[in-house]
Structure 1
Amino acid sequence: MTDVLADAGAAPRLGLTFVPWDRPPEDLPAFARLVEDSGLDTLWLWEDCFAQSGLACAATALAGTSRIRVGVALLPTPLRNVALTAMELATLARLYPGRLLPGIGHGVQDWMAQAGAKVASPMTLLREYAVALRALLAGEEVTVSGRYVKLDRVRLRYPPTEPLPLLMGGFGEKTLRLSAELADGVLLARGGAEAVGRMRGVLDETGSRAGIVLGIGPEEGANIPGAAEAITAAARAGATDITVEPAPDEPDLPGLIEAVRAAGGHAGETITT
Structure 2
Amino acid sequence: MTGLGAVFRPQLPPERLRAVVQLADATGLEELWLWEDCFREGGISAAAAALAWSGQVRVGVGLLPVPLRNVAITAMEVATLHRLFPGRAILGVGHGVQDWMGQVGARVESPVTLLREHLDALRALLRGERVTTDGRYVKLDDVALDWPPTGPVEILAGATGPRTLRLAGAAADGTILTASTAPDGVRRARQLIDEGRESAGRTEPHKVVVYLLTATATGPDAAARLRAELAEEGLESVPDLGVAGDADTVAKAVQRLAEAGADTVILQPTGDEPDPEAFVRFAAEVRALVP
Q: TM (normalized to structure 2)?
A: 0.83
Q: Which stretch shows the higher mean deviation, 31-40 or 224-233? A: 224-233
Q: TM (normalized to structure 1)?
A: 0.88
From 63, 66, 77, the equivalent of 2:66 is: 77
Q: Distance in 1 between matches of 2:111 and 2:134?
A: 17
From 183, 188, 206, the equivalent of 2:177 is: 188
Cα displacement (A) at 1:223 = 5.2
Cα displacement (A) at 1:261 = 3.9
Q: 1:61 to 1:136 in 2, by over 3 A?
A: same
Q: 1:255 to 1:116 in 2, by over 3 A?
A: closer
Question: Whose relative contact order is higher, 1 or 2, with alpha carbons under 8 Å and at least 6 apart?
Answer: 1
Aligned to 2:49: 60
1:245 counterpart = 2:234? no
Per-residue CA deviations over 1:107-141 (Å, capped at 9, x if unaligned) read 10000000000000001100000000001111111
Q: 1:161 to 1:114 in 2, by over 3 A?
A: same
Instruction: State whether residues 192 and 230 of structure 1, in contact with CA within 8 Å, keep that contact through their aligned partners in structure 2.
Output: no
Residue identity in the other structure for 1:210: H
From 222, 231, 234, the equivalent of 2:254 is: 231
Aligned to 2:129: 140
Residue identity in the other structure for 1:238: G
Instruction: State whether residues 222 and 247 of structure 1, in contact with CA within 8 Å, keep that contact through their aligned partners in structure 2.
Output: no
Residue identity in the other structure for 2:50: A
From 199, 205, 213, the equivalent of 1:217 is: 213
Instruction: State whether residues 223 and 246 of structure 1, in contact with CA within 8 Å, keep that contact through their aligned partners in structure 2.
Output: no
Instruction: State whether residues 6 and 33 of structure 2, in contact with CA within 8 Å, keep that contact through their aligned partners in structure 1.
Output: yes
Q: 1:169 to 1:246 in 2, by over 3 A?
A: same
Instruction: State whether residues 177 and 211 of structure 2, in contact with CA within 8 Å, keep that contact through their aligned partners in structure 1.
Output: yes
User: How many residues were matched structurally?
Assistant: 257
1:25 counterpart = 2:14? yes
Instruction: State whether residues 222 and 245 of structure 1, in contact with CA within 8 Å, keep that contact through their aligned partners in structure 2.
Output: no
* Percent identity of paired positions between Structure 1 and Structure 2: 48
Alignment of 1:189-204 (within 5 A): 189-190=178-179, 191-204=181-194
Alignment of 1:156-167 (within 5 A): 156-167=145-156
Aligned to 2:6: 16
Instruction: State whether residues 212 and 241 of structure 1, in contact with CA within 8 Å, keep that contact through their aligned partners in structure 2.
Output: yes
DSSP 3-state at the match of 2:269:
coil
Aligned to 2:82: 93
Instruction: State whether residues 162 and 192 of structure 2, in contact with CA within 8 Å, keep that contact through their aligned partners in structure 1.
Output: no
Instruction: State whether residues 180 and 203 of structure 1, in contact with CA within 8 Å, keep that contact through their aligned partners in structure 2.
Output: yes
Q: Distance in 1 between matches of 2:158 and 2:271?
A: 24
Instruction: State whether residues 125 and 148 of structure 1, in contact with CA within 8 Å, keep that contact through their aligned partners in structure 2.
Output: yes
What is the RMSD computed on CA atoms of the aligned residues?
1.8
Residue identity in the other structure for 1:217: L
Q: Distance in 1 between matches of 2:161 and 2:190?
A: 15
Q: Distance in 2 between matches of 1:144 and 1:29?
A: 40
Cα displacement (A) at 1:215 = 0.4
From 61, 79, 101, the equivalent of 1:112 is: 101
Unaligned runs of 5+ in 2: 215-225, 227-241
DSSP 3-state at the match of 1:217:
strand
Instruction: State whether residues 169 and 206 of structure 2, in contact with CA within 8 Å, keep that contact through their aligned partners in structure 1.
Output: yes
Cα displacement (A) at 1:228 = 2.1
